[in-house]
Amino acid sequence: MRFRPGFVLSCTFAFVAAAALAQIRPPQGSPPSDPEHGPPVVSFSDGGASLSGTGPMESIYISPKAGAPFSLKLAAEWSHPLAGGGTFTLANERGIVRDSKGRIYQERWILVPKGGDIKSEMNVFQITDPELHTWYNCWTRQKVCELMQYDDVVTAVYLPRLRPPGPLPDGKGYVQSEDLGAGTTQGLETHGYRETTTLNPGTFGNDREMKAAREFWFSSQLGINLFSIVDNPQTGKQVFTVKELSTSEPDPSYFQVPEGYRVVDRRKADDKDRR
């Protein structure tokens, strides 16, 4: 078969476009509080993508923790193995800000080939407010913000998801968990964990043992992971690194929709979907 250069180039860009955008979806919401048992506990995990490895990448989870403001840059790298050895890596950096009220501003920048000539750009920013229960998803080129329901609350306790070690059901494999102990990341105390899931041959189309691992360093002060690795043979390896961290109160203007943007209220449609 003869390949045309334009066809190869267009396929390359199609892959980049398909894999480029961080997953943009509403937060999962918090369980209701139980006065007898204290605040609700919400568990979360970072990273992930479609099993094909070419869908949108999910990033680290940012909770609406009150009284713990910060500003940071998040560097992300997503590597896929190449046939015959080596890797193809997409990368970006984006800003994330949270104030003492638990309001969050997040930028979404397009993932581009690491070290290549294609420049990343911000295509979306998001503003969430746990008190008003609002979530603005704003597209920079169209200058349109979709307004949706935001259900996460400041009264919840947000902790990384940790699966108990031991065998998986029906003899499909097993989970190993390691406590990596205390450390320091960007000047803050963190605690590290590593979890490895091994699937036995024949469990998921695999003809030999298949291992998926994740490692993260959690800051209890901020309620987020400051360093996180997700390594899965189906979706590739994702590395998230917090940089330029400040715990000062951010400028309130981050949490206002900029002038010139049109707001489209989608909350009625969300309510219909919930019924």
Query: Average model confidence (pLDDT) for the chain?
Result: 84
* DSSP 8-state secondary structure symbol assigned to residue 5: H
- Whether residue 8 has pLDDT greater than 60: no
Cβ-count burial 24-52 (b if 16+ within 10 Å, e if not)? bebbeebeeeeeeeeeeebebbbbbbeee
Local structure of 251: helix, strand or coil: coil
Mean pLDDT value across residues 211-215: 94
> What pLDDT is attached to residue 21?
36
| Burial of 218: CB neighbours in 10 Å, binned 0-12, 13-18, 19+ | buried
> What pLDDT is attached to residue 23?
39
What are 245-263's pLDDT values in tens digits? 999 999 999 999 999 999 9
> What pLDDT is attached to residue 28?
45
Q: CATH class for domain 5-274?
A: mainly beta
% of the chain residues with pLDDT over 90: 69
Q: Which spans in the chain are helix H?
A: 5-20, 267-274
> What pLDDT is attached to residue 10?
33
What are 13-67's pLDDT values in tens digits? 333 333 333 334 444 444 444 546 678 888 888 876 655 445 567 789 999 999 9
- Whether residue 74 has pLDDT greater than 80: yes
Mean pLDDT value across residues 183-188: 96
Q: What's the pTM value of the predicted model, to 2 decimals?
A: 0.82
Listed by start position, the domains of the chain span 5-274
